[in-house]
Amino acid sequence: MTQSQFDACNRRIDYLRVSVTDRCNLRCRYCMPEEGVPSIGHERVLRLEEIARLVGIGVGAGIRHVRLTGGEPLVRKGVVDLVRLIRAMPGIESISMTTNGVALAGMANALAEAGLDRVNISLDSLRPERYRSITRIGNLADALAGIEAARAAGLAPVKINMVVMRDVNADEVVDYALRTLAEPWHVRFIEYMPLGDGEEDARAEYVPSHLIRARIEEALGSLLSADVTGAGPARNWRLPKAQGTIGFISAVSEHFCSSCNRMRLSSDGKLVPCLFSDAEFDLRGPLRDGADDAALAAIWRDALAHKPARHHLDEALTTTHHRMSWIGG
């Protein structure tokens, strides 16, 4: 029987985001430079059985919800097998994945059969040329095919993540909202967050959620409160009679630190208590040196004890050395 764990701020920590690879088949402008980022090296990346063992340590510490991320998780060989391993763990209530969706059409059924519950698909423009510009090499049709395949496979609700950037794609927020009327699109507008080398872009292109919402309501009318399945931080709304919903992830302007329920495991085996903190706790080293589960659980508890009360992005757009491709957002 798993035991719930609380941090020093009495927040129940039951959600683990697992980056299964630092590699990606796109080069999104807010995530990495056009030439990509140097690989952390095959020998440093956790093996699937190592990921499964560390997730099991988390389950023993009260983790109930696991989200697989990257880089792009679908480029990791064996990711379907990893889903199956995690699904078999007593105590796991949900397994989800954040993906760019471009390889999802050919994998959605296998993932669903292995036990994946739902997907979040990153989609930062509905315009083919702009989508290619933002992703640098992506094809919008591939991502849209991934959305349809996920829906057909029952990976619902399918959530669509849009990072809103001033003078880049902010003029499309009403178009996204309109898609929720006729289709079961669960759109989530995400504030541009400063990570890695992106601080200057974040300052120039950051759009607060209240302005996004105001633009939608001015065009389409008042939003109504809505509930959406998941353990994430979005505040969810819907348009009257809409099939889908509209969510806002306001990490900068309206931080949700007081209710944060998550830890992060990087692809090279670091346990990270906060996305916006440089603190990280090595699990790969002790694991490969032969540490038993009790020793690994002690490192987990130490990381939990160092989870900060909050970030300070609303005071200044400061950044950390963490890259989105390394930690998975």
Domain extent listing, the chain: 15-327
Taking a C-beta distance cutoff of 8 angstroms, is the pair 16, 304 a contact? Answer: no
Residues 311 and 325: their CA atoms lie apart, in Å, by 20
- The pTM of the full predicted model, rounded to 2 decimals, is 0.91
For the chain, give percent helix, strand, coil, nearest 5: 35, 15, 50
Q: Which amino acid is at 173?
A: V
Beta strands in the chain (DSSP E): 15-19, 65-69, 94-99, 118-122, 159-164, 186-191, 224-225, 235-238, 245-249, 262-265, 270-272, 281-282
Residue 110's closest CA among 134, 142, 87, 139? 87
Instruction: Tell me whether residue 54 is exposed, middle or buried, using C-beta atoms within 10 angstroms of its C-beta: 0 to 12, 13 to 18, 19 or more.
Output: buried
The contacts of residue 106 (CB under 8 Å, 6+ apart) are 149
- Helical pair 79-87 and 48-60, crossing angle rounded to 10 deg: 30
- One digit per residue, pLDDT tens: the chain, 329 residues? 445 588 889 999 999 999 999 999 999 988 887 777 777 888 999 999 999 999 999 999 999 999 999 999 999 999 999 999 999 999 999 999 999 999 999 999 999 999 999 999 999 999 999 999 999 999 999 999 999 999 999 999 999 999 999 999 999 999 999 999 999 999 999 999 876 555 566 678 999 999 999 999 999 999 999 998 877 788 999 999 999 999 999 988 887 788 899 999 999 999 999 987 788 999 999 999 999 999 999 999 999 999 988 765 555 544 455 555 556 65
Please give the CATH number for the structural domain made up of 15-327. Answer: 3.20.20.70
Residue matched to tokens 């349809």: 148
**Which tokens go with 114?**
């292995």
Q: What kind and span of H or E run contains 209? A: helix 209-220
194 burial via Cβ count (<10 Å: 0-12, 13-18, 19+): buried
Q: Can you give the pLDDT at residue 1?
A: 42
* Of 41, 40, 29, nearest in space to 122 by CA: 29
User: Cα angle at 132 between 149 and 211, to 5 degrees?
Assistant: 90
What residues have CB less than 8 Å from 218, skipping those under 6 apart?
A: none
Distance CA 272, CA 257 (A): 15
Take residue 320 and report the two structure tokens written for it.
């950390």
Instruction: Compute how many other C-beta atoms are within 10 angstroms of the C-beta atom of residue 279.
Output: 14
Q: What is the pLDDT of residue 325?
A: 56
For residue 264, the model assigns a pLDDT of 96
